[in-house]
Amino acid sequence: MDHDSYSDSYIRGILNTVKTIAMVGVSANTSRPSYFAFKYLLERRYHMIPVNPGLAGGELLGQRVFAKLSDIPEPIDMVDIFRASRYALAIVEEALALRPRPQVIWMQLGVRNDEAARLAEENGLQVVMNRCPKIEYGRLSSEIAWMGVNTRTLSARKAQLFGRGIQRMALNRVTVAGGTTEAAMHAQKVEEAT
């Protein structure tokens, strides 16, 4: 896989599929990016599990904090690595020892470890590096466009909410980069027919 560029459909597929995310390296400091990302994803109804040995046994935003992945007593869909790149390989090795294994290894902005990615992919896991799921979610749902950010999303329709309040938004918006949405598939069929 080319880890310099990810298709919108690849990212969308991950964010639509995972439900339980263990964030390794999350901080309780409200001014840290990991805290913002954790809180944002928690508000979007992902089941967030904080992993930080310095906070283990306590709570972060109402969620019990664990020292390491192997301490978590439930299956994890995605491991979100908020640690320096040099720690990613050890975290992937720990994730691979879990039963059942997570489906996704996600390395945050600035985190890239090709050896860790290769090991995860060789063991059937999807990998994203140097991206933030909070930013990608906001971009694909058009939510960050509310703040004036150009998401490259083309639509005249208001984004669909699932339920009331701050919850998950539909990630089925058509983007300039395309994707496997109904509209994108329809447009491709029309283009192929002409």
pLDDT for residue 192: 62
pLDDT for residue 115: 98
pLDDT for residue 142: 74
Domain boundaries, the chain: 1-194
pLDDT (tens place) for every residue of the chain, 194 residues total: 899 999 999 999 999 999 999 999 999 999 999 999 999 999 999 999 999 999 999 999 999 999 999 999 999 999 999 999 999 999 999 999 999 999 999 999 999 999 999 999 999 999 999 999 999 998 888 776 544 444 455 455 555 555 444 444 555 544 444 444 444 454 455 556 65
DSSP string spanning 64-128? E-BSSGGG--S--SEEEE-S-GGGHHHHHHHHHTSSSPPSEEEE-TT---HHHHHHHHHTT-EEE
Q: Using the structure block, give the residue that is written with the tokens 């059937």.
A: 124
pLDDT for residue 191: 52
Task: Please tell me the pTM assigned to this model.
Answer: 0.77
CATH top class, domain 1-194:
alpha beta
pLDDT for residue 149: 46
Cβ contact 49:21 at 8 Å: yes
- In this structure, the dihedral spanned by the alpha carbons of residues 66, 62, 74 and 172, taken in order and rounded to 10 degrees, is -120
